[in-house]
């Protein structure tokens, strides 16, 4: 074993960063044995240096992150501060001064992953980011290494624990959205401002990263269709149960049947109870992968939290340190296919549409005619009426998003249609 330690700079020492530092200290001997050399925490960049950080030498703490990554003797920079800037500039500077980088920054990778990979390659350094998607679940490395010889066709995932907890609570207890959100907040699963989670910004960033790796093409955050889950109601869950389904916020990345394009989207969807993702409860994450040779694979585990995310960071740290010792670099950006990302209007799936209609003869015929005129085939229809008003639930066969939108617009123009109560996609069949 080499006795000279590999030096690590830690950018950020919050929930995740403090766990990274703790594990590096408490598991130092094991990490050294696995890497082939000891690792040394050489500096910790923070915003509030006066805060007491148990187990971290105050002499290592600095507010000058730029100076830390420019030192020249740093082998690996671990970035867990999040956000776009200054993280982007710090990572680029680290590459330029000879360090490899381990990051958990999903937002930055979804927006500027191509540029960061290019900077890493230009300086012959590693960029690893297992912790950016699905916390502790080993996912990025299996997709880009273990399945490198396979063709991935579809990835369907639950990648946000907060939203899965809320939807699971609504499903299991009949609670409304706000009630379930309040419980998630009280238990610490939801932030004081849950927008990034419930409006699917967090999941969309992860979908961009997954799609890029799975399909060897460049998918940015702006390419991902995003729809939050704040409008999901207890009535939607009741309808789902009647179909033998539940509702999940899904990140779905697909290769077109002809192989000429890909899609990436995040939205609530009904999913059959028989599907493996339907059984993912609480704040857990899961990723369901479909490929030509391996078939169907499921990755499952805690998707957030200090210790689980730190586990993924440390796994990357071990891999990058091994590469440093051998003078090699790991897999970089693989975007050779350069496939276009199709717009949401071209996505084909099933739909569950709930309509408020007048309770009188001929309404069903009018509605069916509208669907037929827009080329949307109906699978099932259920109608309930009372006191002159009725609800009409239509489940379609597979149709494009654009054709369904045209259908809904035409339905709203009918005098007999009082309103569209809900529209939800049906996935996993």
Cα→Cα distances 249→8, 23, 224, 227, 357, Å: 37, 32, 14, 9, 28
- Side-chain-side CA neighbours of residue 206 (13 Å): 32
Give per-residue burial for 379-405: e unless 16+ CB within 10 Å, then b.
Answer: eeeeeeeeeeebbbbbbbeebbbebbe
Sign, CA dihedral 143-111-153-340, equals negative
Residue 69 to residue 150: CA distance in whole angstroms: 37
Residue identified by tokens 């889950």 is 229
Answer yes or no: 206 catalytic: yes
Residue of 51, 106, 151, 206 marked active site: 206
DSSP bridge partners of 39? 6
Within 8 A by CB and 6+ apart from 301, the residues are 134, 135, 136, 137, 284, 285, 286, 308
From the CB of residue 36, how many other CB atoms can be counted at a distance below 10 Å?
15
- Phi, psi at 281, each rounded to 5°: -110, 165
Q: Which residues are marked as active site? A: 206
């Amino acid at each position: 074993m080499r006795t000279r330690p590999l030096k690590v700079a830690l950018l950020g020492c919050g929930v995740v960063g403090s766990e990274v530092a703790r594990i590096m200290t408490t598991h130092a001997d094991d990490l050294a044995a696995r890497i082939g050399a000891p690792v040394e925490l050489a500096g910790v960049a923070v915003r509030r240096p006066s805060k007491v950080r148990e187990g971290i030498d105050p002499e290592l703490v600095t507010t000058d992150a730029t100076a830390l990554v420019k030192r020249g003797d740093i082998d690996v920079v671990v970035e867990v501060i999040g956000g776009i800037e200054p993280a982007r500039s710090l990572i680029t500077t680290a590459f330029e001064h000879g360090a490899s980088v381990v990051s958990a920054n999903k937002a930055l990778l979804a927006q500027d992953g191509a540029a960061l990979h290019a900077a890493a390659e230009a300086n012959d350094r590693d960029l690893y980011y297992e912790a950016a998607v699905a916390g502790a679940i080993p996912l990025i490395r299996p997709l880009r290494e273990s399945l490198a010889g396979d063709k991935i066709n579809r990835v369907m995932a639950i990648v946000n624990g907060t939203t899965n907890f809320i939807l699971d609570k609504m499903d299991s207890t009949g609670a409304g959205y706000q009630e379930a959100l309040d419980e998630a907040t009280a238990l610490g699963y939801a932030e004081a401002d849950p927008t990034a989670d419930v409006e699917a910004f967090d999941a969309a960033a992860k979908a961009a990263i997954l799609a890029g790796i799975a399909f060897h093409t460049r998918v940015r955050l702006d390419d991902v269709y995003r729809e939050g889950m704040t409008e999901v109601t207890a009535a939607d869950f009741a309808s789902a149960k009647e179909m033998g389904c539940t509702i999940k916020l899904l990140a779905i990345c697909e290769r077109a049947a002809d192989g000429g394009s890909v899609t990436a989207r995040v939205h609530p969807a009904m999913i059959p109870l028989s599907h493996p993702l339907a059984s993912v409860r609480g704040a857990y994450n899961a990723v369901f992968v479909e490929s030509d040779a391996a078939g169907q694979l499921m990755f499952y585990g805690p998707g957030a939290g200090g210790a689980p995310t730190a586990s993924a960071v440390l796994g990357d740290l071990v891999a990058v340190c091994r590469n440093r010792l051998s003078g090699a670099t790991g897999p970089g950006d693989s975007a050779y296919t350069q496939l276009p990302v199709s717009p949401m209007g071209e996505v084909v799936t099933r739909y569950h549409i709930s309509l408020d209609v007048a309770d009188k003869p001929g309404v069903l015929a009018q509605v069916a005619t509208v669907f037929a005129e827009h080329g949307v085939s109906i699978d099932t229809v259920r109608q309930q009426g009372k006191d002159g008003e009725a609800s009409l639930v239509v489940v379609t066969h597979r149709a494009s998003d654009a054709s369904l939108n045209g259908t809904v617009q035409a339905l709203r123009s009918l005098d007999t249609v009082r309103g569209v109560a809900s529209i939800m996609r049906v996935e996993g069949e």
